[in-house]
Structure 1
Amino acid sequence: MSHLFICTGEVSGDLQAGHLIRELLRQRPHLRITAVGGEEMAAAGANLLHRTTEISSIGILEALPFVGPALWTEWKIRRFLAQDPPDLAILVDYIGINSRIARLLQRRRIPAVYYIAPQEWVWSPNSRLTYRLAQQMRLMVAIFPEEARYYAAAGAQVCYVGHPLLDILASVPGRAQARAELGIPEEAMVVALLPASRRQELRSVLPILLQAARLLRARLPQVRFWAPLASPRFAAPIAQAARRYGLEDLTLLLPRPSPPKAHHLLLAAADLVLAKSGTVNLEAAILGIPQVVIYRLNPITFWLARHWLKVSVPFMSPPNLVLMRPIVPELLQEEAQPERVAQLALELLTRPERRTQLQADYAAMRAALGEPGVLARAAKAILEVLDSETRPKGDP
C-alpha cells in the first residue's frame, strides 16, 4: 500500500488539502495518507499526525508567538519521517513550515510535490526560495497561469491544473436556495462580514469592518449583517466587538462539517461582502458577489516589509492577482479606513453600473482560472509522480 504524507496549515490550506485527499482516495482507494493540518483533512480520510490550523499568522512580529509551536511541529514531522517514511510527500501552501520541510525531505531523499505553491511570483521575483523549490520538487502543481509560467522559468517541472475552487464551489446553491436554507427573506439586503481566519485579524481587521458596517447602516438602515465564523472560538470576541460598535443584531454563523460550507452558503445569499484579503475574495468572485477587500498588518511589520525587505505587491486580493488588474476594490494598511470601506460598499449596493462592470470583470477572471475537473487533474498528476517513484527500477 502506497503511503503519502501531506503537510499544510491554516484554515484555507486544510480545506484545500481536504478536497485533494478525497479525490486522491477516489482515484486510489487503498492509499495510506498521513497528514499535518486540520479537521478537514482528517474528515477526508487522512490520519492526522499534528494539527496546524491554529499556527497561523501573516507578518514578522505577528509570527513570533508561533515560533515555539512551529518548532514543535517540525520536530514531530522529523520524527515521523525517520520512523515511517512515506513514498511521496505533498506540500500544500503554508510556506512558513513547508519551506523547511522541503529541505528535510530533500536530505532524506523523499520525493515531494508542491500543490498551491508559495506566491513568489507575486511578491518576491527571482528569490532564492523559488529556485530552491524548483530543484527540490518532483512537480509543482500550479493553480494560477502566472504561477505556472513563473516556476517553469525557474526550472521546475510544472503541471497547470486550474483553480480548485471551480470544483469546490460547484455544489454551492444559488441565491434563492441559500437564503431559504439560512432563513433570509428574499427582499432583505444582506452584507456578509468576513474579518478573520487568524486570531491576529480579530485585532487588525475586525474593528475596521464593524465601524464600516455601522456607517453603512446609517445610510441604509434596512441592511442586515451576517458573519460566518472560521472557528467557533471566534464567536465570543466577534460578538463582544459587535456590541461595542453598536451592531448587537450581527448574526454569527457557525461552521458546519457538511457541504456546502456555512460561509459558502452565506456568500451565495449575500448582496455584498466586506472581507479581509484571502481565499474568500476568490470564492466571492467565482460566486459573483460584489466585495470590498481590506487588510492591515502591524505597522512595524509593514514598514520592515516595504523598506527593509523591499517587498512590493501589485495587488493583495486573489481576484486582482488573477488578471493583474484592479477588479475588486482593495484597501491596504492606512488606506483601510472605515469611512472609505463604507463609501465603496454603498456604491456597490446602490449603483447598478458598478455591479454590471464588476460582473463583466468577474467573468473574465473566471475564464482565466481554467476548466472544471481541477481536483481530478491535480490528483492524477500527483499519482503519476507516485507511480514513477514506487515502480521497480528497470520497469518501463
Structure 2
Amino acid sequence: MTDYLANASDDIMGQRIFFSVGEPSGDLHAANLIQCLKRIDPSTRVRGFGGSKMIQAGLDLDFDLTSMAVVGITEVLPKLREFFRIADIAEGCFKRGEVDGVVLVDFPGFNWHIAKRAKKYGLPVFYYLPPQLWAWGGWRVKKMKRYVDRVFCNLPFEKEWFEDRGVSTTYVGHPFFDSIANTPLDSKFIARWRDSGRLQVAVLPGSREHEVHRIWPMQLQIIRQLAHEFPEVEFLAATLKDSHALWCQSQLSASDQGLPIHIFSSKTSEILELCDCTLMKSGSVSLEVMARGKPAAVMYHVSDMTYAIGKMLVKCQYMSLPNLMAQAPLMPEFLSHGAIHSRSSRRSIEAITQEMVKLLGDPQYRQLQRQRLRELASLTAKSGATQTVAQNILTDLQPRLELRRRNRLEMTPVDANPVDANPFGGNAADSRRAKAA
C-alpha cells in the first residue's frame, strides 16, 4: 500500500471510503465514481478491492477482486475459502477504524459478507449497481434492508421495487451512459475501418476470461456459417484484455485463416460505432449497444447446474438490460447450457445464426431493430448517474467527517503525533500489518 505518512496531517481530514468491486464492468464504473468523488473533494481517500481502472483513478488496492470474477454455482464453490480470506482483510480495516463508509458495486455473493461485516462496526454502507433481486432471489432483499443504508439503483422500475420492501433507494440512472458520454472514440481507428465499404458485425465474447472461453468457440461456429453465406461481410471482435484477444486468435484453425475476422482489445466502443449489427454475450455492454442503436443477437451460456438452479429461481423473462427496461425482446436472446457440443448449444448456435442471417440479409428488418433501440435510448440513455452518486455519498458521510474533525481538534499534542498517523486511521504499525494481510 502507498505510504501516506508524509501527508497524514492533511489527508486524515478527508473522507475515507472502502470500495468492494469484483466485476470488470464494475471496475470501470467504480473508477469513474472515484474520480468524481475526488473532483468534488480532493481530500477524499479510497481503498479496498477493485481492478486496474480503479487503481488508475486513485484506489489504494488491498486486493484485485476483479481477477476472481465468477458466475454460477460451479464457478463459486472452488473459491469459497479464498473469498472468506479476502473478506477478513476488509473486516480488519473496519475493526481498526480505518474507513468512514463502504461502497459496494455489484458482485452480491461476496459483497453481502462485506456489508454484514461493515455494519458490525457501525459503518454506513452504500450499494451502487445493486443485484437484480427482482429477477431472482427476492428473499435477499432482507439482507439489503438489514445491511445497506442506501441503494443507488440504475433501472427506472427498481426504485419502487426496493422502496416497497423498506430499502432506502435513490434512482440515478445507469453509469454506462456516463462512460459513453465521457470517453472519446479513437477517430483514426474508426476512419481506418470505415473505409472498408463492407457490412460489419461487432463480435463481443464477454469481459471475463471464463466467459470468453465458453462464448468465443460458439461465436466462431456462427461466424464460419455467416462468412460462407455473406462473403461481403467482415467481423470485428472486441475483447476487454490483450490476453483475451490472443486466446481468441489462437482458436482460429488453419481453415479459418481466410475468414474476414479481425480481433482487437480495448476498442469496444469504436467497433460498436462502426458496426451494422452485433453478435454479443449478454452483459452491461448491451446498454452501449442500445445507446448506439445497433441491432443485436444476445447469447448467454452457463453450466448445466447453474441452468437447473436458474430455472427454479429466476423470475424475469429477459436477461439483457435493454429488454428488461423495455419489457420487450428488442434484442433477441439465446440461452444455452452444458458443453459447447451439447444439444442445447447446437440449437442455440443454429437459432443465433438464423437471427444474424435475418439482420444481415434484410435491411428493412435491421433498420426496424435500430429504430426500436434508439427510441428506448431516447428515454433512458441519460448521463449524470456518477455525479449524483458521488454527491450523495459525500453528503451522507459528512456528519461522520465533522465528528472526526472535532475529535482531532480536541486531541492533545501527544495524541496527534503525525509520525503514528495514517490517512485511514489506526497507526503506522497497523497499516503495515494490514498490508501484510
TM (normalized to structure 2)? 0.82
Q: 1:177 to 1:171 in 2, by over 3 A?
A: farther
Q: Which of 169, 183, 190 in structure 2 is aligned with 1:179?
A: 190
Alignment of 1:323 onto 2:326:
yes
Q: How does 1:130-145 map to 2 (within 5 A)?
A: 130-145=141-156
Q: How does 1:101-120 map to 2 (within 5 A)?
A: 101-120=114-133
The farther-off stretch of 165-174 and 370-379 is 165-174
- Any conservation in 2 of the 1:159–1:381 contact (CA below 8 Å)? no
- Any conservation in 2 of the 1:12–1:279 contact (CA below 8 Å)? yes
Q: 1:368 to 1:189 in 2, by over 3 A?
A: same
- Any conservation in 2 of the 1:293–1:331 contact (CA below 8 Å)? yes
Q: In 2, Cα distance between the equivalents of 1:148 and 1:387? A: 24
The match for 1:258 is none
Q: In 1, Cα distance between the equivalents of 2:275 and 2:46? A: 37
Q: 1:244 to 1:37 in 2, by over 3 A?
A: farther
The match for 1:339 is 350
Alignment of 1:207 onto 2:212:
no
Q: Which of 284, 288, 301 in structure 2 is aligned with 1:283?
A: 288
Q: How does 1:59-98 map to 2 (within 5 A)?
A: 59-98=72-111
What letter is aligned with 1:294? Answer: M
Q: Which of 309, 324, 332 in structure 2 is aligned with 1:304?
A: 309
The match for 1:235 is 245
The match for 1:148 is 159
- Deviation (angstroms), 1:296: 1.1
Structure 2: runs of 5 or more not aligned = 1-13, 337-343, 407-437
Q: In 2, Cα distance between the equivalents of 1:76 and 1:172? A: 34
Q: In 1, Cα distance between the equivalents of 2:30 and 2:329? A: 29
Q: 1:160 to 1:178 in 2, by over 3 A?
A: farther
What letter is aligned with 1:98? Answer: N
Q: In 1, Cα distance between the equivalents of 2:48 and 2:194? A: 38
Alignment of 1:40 onto 2:53:
yes
Q: Which of 266, 269, 273 in structure 2 is aligned with 1:268?
A: 273
Structure 1: runs of 5 or more not aligned = 256-261
Alignment of 1:375 onto 2:391:
no
Q: In 1, Cα distance between the equivalents of 2:380 and 2:288? A: 12
User: Which whole-Å deviations, capped at 9, do the CAs of 1:314-348 have from their partners, x for residues lacking one?
Assistant: 10111101122111111011376222212211211
TM (normalized to structure 1)? 0.90
- Any conservation in 2 of the 1:111–1:138 contact (CA below 8 Å)? yes
Q: Give 3-state SS (helix, strand or coil) of 2:302's partner.
A: coil
Q: Which has the larger radius of gyration?
A: 2
What letter is aligned with 1:97? Answer: F
Q: In 2, Cα distance between the equivalents of 1:171 and 1:18? A: 13
Q: In 2, Cα distance between the equivalents of 1:35 and 1:27? A: 20
Tell me which of the two structures has the higher relative contact order, counting C-alpha pairs closer than 8 angstroms and 6 or more residues apart.
2
- Deviation (angstroms), 1:177: 6.5
Q: Give 3-state SS (helix, strand or coil) of 1:122's partner.
A: coil
Alignment coverage as a number of residue pairs: 383
- Any conservation in 2 of the 1:56–1:66 contact (CA below 8 Å)? no
Q: Give 3-state SS (helix, strand or coil) of 1:4's partner.
A: strand
Q: 1:239 to 1:111 in 2, by over 3 A?
A: same
Q: In 1, Cα distance between the equivalents of 2:251 and 2:129? A: 34
Q: Give 3-state SS (helix, strand or coil) of 2:382's partner.
A: coil
User: Which whole-Å deviations, capped at 9, do the CAs of 1:297-327 have from their partners, x for residues lacking one?
Assistant: 11122113324xx333310111101122111
Q: In 1, Cα distance between the equivalents of 2:213 and 2:384? A: 38
RMSD (Å), alpha carbons:
2.3
